[in-house]
Chain A
Amino acid sequence: MIDFHNIYPELFLMLAMLFLLLVGVFIKNSFTLIKKGTILSLLLCIPIVYINFDNQLLIFNNNYSINFFSNFIKIIILVASVFSLIFAGQYFKRTNIDKFEYMILVLSSTIGMFIMVSTNNLIGLYLGIELQSLSLYVLASIDRNSLKSSESGVKYFVLGALSSGLFLYGCSLIYGFTGSTNYLIINENFSIENLGLIFGLVFILVGLAFKISAVPFHMWTPDVYEGSPTSVTAFFALAPKVAGIGAFIQILFIAFGTAIEEWKSILIFISIASMVLGSVAAIGQTNIKRLMAYSSISHVGYALAGLATGSFVGISATLTYMSIYVVMNIAAFTCILFFSRDKIYYEDIRDLRGLSKNHPVVAACFCLVLFSLAGIPPLAGFFAKFYIFKALIESEMYLLAIIGLISSVISAFYYLRIIKIMYFDKEVEKFDDMSGLGIKLSLASSTLMILLYFIVPSFLLNLTDIASKVFS
């Protein structure tokens, strides 16, 4: 019982979720109220996480860890969730998905993500993943009237269930050969000579790779991204990716810390495949959500490349990458949610023609974000990629670095294409003017962060450095 005060953030979110659920059940038309309540409780959770920021604890019989690393990721998850709600603005109302369950599901998946990054046990990890994924399956199909949304929910669910099955099979193999589901004990009993353990490791990695949509387990991503309501797509692209990478780091460096050479080669392959496929496949896309899906696949590839080094510098680079990735995606999706005219949201990139004439400020922000996603200095995206390449070259993985750089040039092409459409083409009709403080706030803050990151690049790097030291 004495351990409970260490998991206040999780408890707080859970209570808030239950309370808001009750409010939703008993008060009619309470969407706006519950949305505000959700945002407030997510925001309140940030200081609660922050109080115990520097603690380094293993609780519940070493099955749950609270440390700098997990707290750092939790804060990113919270920020991402908050922004994914506030930048949607009028989107919920206009597309008739203003159902209070939406908010409850966001909260419950956030709790799931918290568990994913904190747990030190395979069962805990599985529960966290399922709590997160089940909420996401429902979120994907929350627009009941849209065929596409329902289809994407079912697709996500079927494939997700399959990957959970693979994951569980891996867990059972690991449990069978090491006698425990606890990461620390697995690490003690792990022997690379045992083929069963290697199989288990591979299955677990496959299950996790599915969740962060790394190639070759990425097939669901473009369809689900396209079919889901845009605000849900934004949420998919932000928080679950970070949580997935966090879980990846936890399990790789704690449970399988002795088998670095074994999983390294798997990660190298996944990372190369994701970077290359994400860059090449996006070239032909015209739907901006599909394009962002492929872009996120390639970004996950870069993040995994950092992990593939198997070093602490690599972890730190990956964490930096994911933090900047979240900021960039917040800005990008804010812009995407802006492209609407009379309740219709436009997703084809050709609809952005001449945006720079009609909406110079939004176009300039989007242009900066795209340059940043392409990794052009001095924007934040360049530094994110740079740290990854620095870690790779420090570990003498030149091939991976060169492939990564070449695919970043390829991906520059499709980001440039959007800029071309916005700036070089003749304008079409105007979009609705930007309304709502939330959109303005999230666009301004995220763009400024991207633009001005170069002034204090050490700040984020210090944090991720400390976070990566947790694993030594």
Chain B
Amino acid sequence: MSDIPILSLIIFIPLIGVLFLLFIKGDKDFVDKTSGYVAQLTSIVTFLASILILVNFNYKDPNFQFIEQHEWIVNFVNYKVGIDGISLSFILLTTFITPICILATINSVKNRLREFLIALLLMETMMIGVFCSLDLFIFYLFFEAGLIPMFLIIGIWGGERRVYSAFKFFLYTLFGSIFMLISVIYIYFDTGTLDVEKLLNIQINKDYQKYLWLGFFASFAVKTPMWPVHTWLPDAHVEAPTSGSVILAAILLKMAGYGFIRFSLGLFPDASVYFAPLVFVLSIIAIIYTSLVALVQKDMKKLIAYSSVAHMGFVTIGIFVFNKQGIEGSIFQMISHGIISSALFLCVGVIYDRMHTREISKYGGVVNSMPKYATMFMVFTLGSLGLPGTSGFIGEILVLIGAFKFNYWIAFLAAIGVILSACYSLWLYRRVVFGETKNEKIKSLSDLNAREYLILAPLFIMTLVLGFYPALLLDLISLSAEKVSENMLNYINLVSRIK
């Protein structure tokens, strides 16, 4: 097993699929059909490869595994990849969501399907690359390269205001990440290496740590997104096609959360402690403010987008309370949000494909004509508001426990967000699914077809499985999360003892 470069394989399998896609020739129907098969096959092979990694993964080892290293830019950057439990859970999320995205794409995108699939597979490569890379430069490269396909996805296949949203998305994230680039280069000159494994054991000069932390924060905060730089997200979500929204919500946002855990906490413990109050304030504002904003939305996708911002607020709080429950909870919350929010976007996609509107007021009484759909939608809505028995609950409760341990007030204010999320989720559900049928078209809607079942069922199962048996995921991440939090707590103890 050890001699196969399995991580490189899983990063680049989607690229091989892209190469095949480029060379398909023929009339439009043939191209669309074959490229659908090729893309689906590629993504499933990638998923199986990631399962293979999971099988061979050593749960008892908190260090990085499957490390591969090659010299790339002489004396400067090594191509180095490796994973621990945290990265692996995100890789699995990526490879799990992508086939579902492709399946959802194949019949709903009519225009330039092949190009869309190429963009999706490119995104998959970039996203897996981000979670695998153990060199800051490689990380930056993958982190940024994802901009190109996502820009095209929003811009070409998006809704009416797609151009505005695509530009906003691109320029916001580019602007955020240039500061990370400066920090990365500075780290190189300060420590002489960009190897994450080595950097985790080196103390970076304390005088500069705060600036470097801010550099990384600028990038991650835009990507997370944190209040007040979250405004690109609702626009991008609303205008992106369904599978674009899914990729955005499920995985792209998680790159920032992953970055916070791996780099902000790992490389700059001093600055993380120093800036933790800032993160708490921003996160609590995000949770309460965006929840209130979500309440008044008229567009379903926009509502879910704002709820994403609120949920990511929990994630950042969990990360910066530094204890094991908080970090575990935030990772769990990210994975569960990845599953549930993509399911919600797909649910919106299902009725959007039938009605061609996302306005909430146009709906009502969907349950009469689509009972099975209503059931699915209900489980995901309840998951989103964190009902016990769904995966959303575990993440939220862990974060709140972690926050209580750290500071009573933070937990109290964050808990308000839980109530608000129940308000807007349930109200959305009531307005769309229940109530009287005002719109004549609703009466003639057909229930879920086989393909839609196939898309929603895996997400449905995962939501409930993780809700009833969270150990499935917690076992994977607990050792690595414990390592991160132990490092941080030891560091804080050290500082307080010196004082």
Name A's B-contacting residues (CB within 8 A): 371, 376-378, 382, 386, 389-390, 393-394, 398, 401-402, 405-406, 408-409, 412-413, 416, 419-420, 423-424, 454, 457-458, 461-462
Decide: B163 and A461 in contact? CB cutoff 8 A.
no
Q: Which of B144, B148, B174, B185 contacts A389 (CB 8 A)?
A: B185
Verify B148–A424 contact, CB threshold 8 A: no
Chain A residue nearest to B140 (CB atoms) is A377
- What DSSP secondary structure best describes chain B's contact surface? helix
User: How far does the Cβ of B323 sit from chain A's closest Cβ, in whole Å?
Assistant: 35
Say yes or no for B156: interface residue by CB 8 A criterion: yes
Q: A393 contacts B178, CB within 8 Å?
A: no
Does A461 lie within 8 Å of B74, measured CB to CB?
yes
Q: Is the CB of A393 within 8 A of B167?
A: no
B157-198 Cβ-contact flags toward A at 8 Å (1 or 0): 000001100110011001100110110011011000000000
Q: Could you say which residues of chain A place their CB within 8 Å of the CB of B51?
A: none
Contact A416 B170 (CB under 8 A): yes
Query: For the complex, what is the distance from the CA of A424 to the CA of B151, rounded to whole Å?
Result: 11
Q: Which residue of B lies closest to A391 (CB)?
A: B185
Q: Assess whether B141 is interfacial by the CB under 8 Å rule.
A: yes
Of A398, A401, A408, A457, the contact of B73 (CB 8 Å cutoff)? A457
Within the assembled complex, what's the spacing in Å between the Cα atoms of A419 and B147?
14
Q: How far is the CB of B183 from chain A (nearest CB, A)?
A: 10
Q: How far is the CB of A276 from chain B (nearest CB, A)?
A: 15
Contact B189 A376 (CB under 8 A): no
B41 within 8 A of A: no
B152 to chain A: closest residue by CB: A423
Residues of the B chain whose Cβ atoms lie less than 8 Å from the Cβ of A406: 175, 178
Residues of A within 8 A of B74 (CB): 458, 461-462
Q: If the complex has contacts A376-B147, A409-B174, A423-B152, are A416 and B167 also in contact, measured as CB distance less than 8 A?
A: yes
Within 8 A of A (CB), among B131-159: 140-141, 144-145, 147-148, 151-152, 155-156
- Which residues on B sit within 8 Å (CB–CB) of A462? 74
Contact for A461 among B73, B148, B167, B179, CB less than 8 A: B73
Pair B167/A413 contact, Cβ less than 8 Å: yes
CB contact under 8 A between A377 and B185, given known A423-B155, A424-B162: no
A393 contact from B73, B175, B179, B186, Cβ within 8 A: B186
Interface centre among A377, A390, A423, A424 (most CB of B within 10 A): A377
Let me know if A378 and B178 touch, CB within 8 A: no
**Given contacts A377-B140, A377-B145, A420-B166, are A405 and B178 in contact (CB under 8 A)?**
yes
Shortest distance from the beta carbon of B180 to any chain A beta carbon, whole Å: 10
Chain B residues closer than 8 Å to A393, beta-carbon distance: 182, 185-186, 189
Q: Please, how many angstroms separate the alpha-carbon atoms of A385 and B171 in the complex?
A: 17
| Cα distance, A441 to B303, chains bound together (Å) | 50
B362-374: contact bitstring with A at CB < 8 Å (1 yes, 0 no)? 0000000000000
The one of A377, A394, A416, A457 in contact with B189, judged by C-beta atoms closer than 8 angstroms, is: A394
Whether B30 is near chain A, meaning CB under 8 Å from some CB there, is no
Question: What's the minimum C-beta distance from B207 to chain A, rounded to whole angstroms?
Answer: 14
Give the Cβ gap from A458 to chain B, nearest Cβ, in Å. 4
User: Which 7 A-B residue pairings sit nearest by Cβ, starting from the closest?
Assistant: A405-B178, A458-B74, A393-B185, A377-B144, A377-B141, A424-B155, A409-B175
On B, residues with C-beta under 8 Å from A are 72-74, 140-141, 144-145, 147-148, 151-152, 155-156, 162-163, 166-167, 170-171, 174-175, 178-179, 181-182, 185-186, 188-189
Expressed in whole angstroms, the Cα–Cα distance for A376 and B166 within the complex equals 15
Q: A377-B140, A401-B182, A424-B166 are in contact. List 15 more A-B contacts (CB 8 A).
A: A376-B144, A376-B145, A389-B185, A390-B188, A393-B186, A405-B179, A408-B178, A413-B171, A416-B167, A416-B171, A420-B163, A424-B155, A457-B73, A458-B72, A458-B73
Given the interface pairs A424-B156, A424-B163, the reply to whether A378 lies near B141 with Cβ below 8 Å is yes
Nearest-Cβ distance from residue B369 to partner chain A, whole angstroms: 36
User: In the complex, how many angstroms separate the beta carbon of B34 from the nearest chain A beta carbon?
Assistant: 17
User: Are B178's CB and A412's CB within 8 A?
Assistant: no
- Could you say which residues of chain B place their CB within 8 Å of the CB of A458? 72-74
Which residues from chain A contact B73 at a C-beta distance below 8 Å?
457-458, 461
Assembly CA distance A69 to B119 (angstroms): 41
Would you call A405 and B182 a contact (CB within 8 A)? yes
**A238-B182 Cα distance, complex, nearest whole Å:** 29
Q: What are 22 A-to-B residue pairs whose CB atoms are below 8 Å? A: A376-B144, A376-B174, A377-B141, A377-B145, A378-B145, A393-B185, A402-B182, A405-B178, A408-B178, A409-B175, A409-B178, A412-B170, A412-B171, A419-B155, A420-B155, A420-B163, A420-B167, A423-B152, A424-B155, A424-B166, A458-B73, A462-B74
Contact A390 to B185, CB < 8 A, known contacts A378-B141, A413-B171, A461-B73: yes
A261 to chain B, nearest CB (A): 22
Chain B residue, CB-CB nearest to A412: B174
Known: A376-B144, A423-B156. A389 touches B181 (CB 8 A): yes
- A457→B138 CA distance, assembly (Å): 13
B residues less than 8 Å from A409 (CB atoms): 171, 174-175, 178
* A contact residues around B188 at 8 Å (CB): 390
Q: Which of B141, B162, B179, B181 has the most chain A CB atoms inside 10 A of its CB? A: B181
Complex: chain A residue closest to B141, CB-CB? A377
With contacts A393-B189, A424-B156, A424-B162 known, is A457 near B72, CB below 8 A? yes
- Report A-chain residues with C-beta under 8 Å of the C-beta of B175: 406, 409
Bound-state CA distance A458–B78 (Å) is 12
Nearest A-chain residue to B174, judged by Cβ: A409
Across-interface contacts of B155 in A (CB, < 8 A): 419-420, 423-424
Q: Which residue of A lies closest to B137 (CB)?
A: A386
Contacts of A454 in B (CB 8 A): 141
With both chains docked as a complex, state the minimum distance between the C-beta of B447 and any C-beta of chain A, in angstroms: 35
Bound-complex Cα distance A378 to B149 (A): 12
Q: How far is the CB of A425 from chain B (nearest CB, A)?
A: 9
CA distance A223 to B148 in the complex (A): 32
Partner of B151, one of A408, A413, A416: A416
Contacts of B147 in A (CB 8 A): 376
Measured between alpha carbons, how far is A398 from B185 in the docked complex, in Å? 11
A7 to B349, CA, bound (A): 70
* Nearest B residue (CB) for A413: B171
Q: How far is the CB of A378 from chain B (nearest CB, A)?
A: 5
Quick one: closest B residue to A404, CB to CB?
Answer: B178
Question: Which one of A371, A416, A457, A462 has the greatest number of beta carbons of chain B within 10 Å?
Answer: A416
Bound CA–CA A461/B140 (angstroms): 20
With A412-B174, A416-B167, A423-B155 already in contact, the answer to whether A398 and B141 are too (CB < 8 A) is: no
Closest to A393 in B: B185
- Shortest distance between the CB of B242 and any CB in chain A (Å): 18
A316 vs chain B, min Cβ distance (A): 12
- B contact residues around A398 at 8 Å (CB): 182
Neighbouring A residues of B167 by C-beta, 8 Å: 413, 416, 420
Contacts of B144 in A (CB 8 A): 376-377, 382
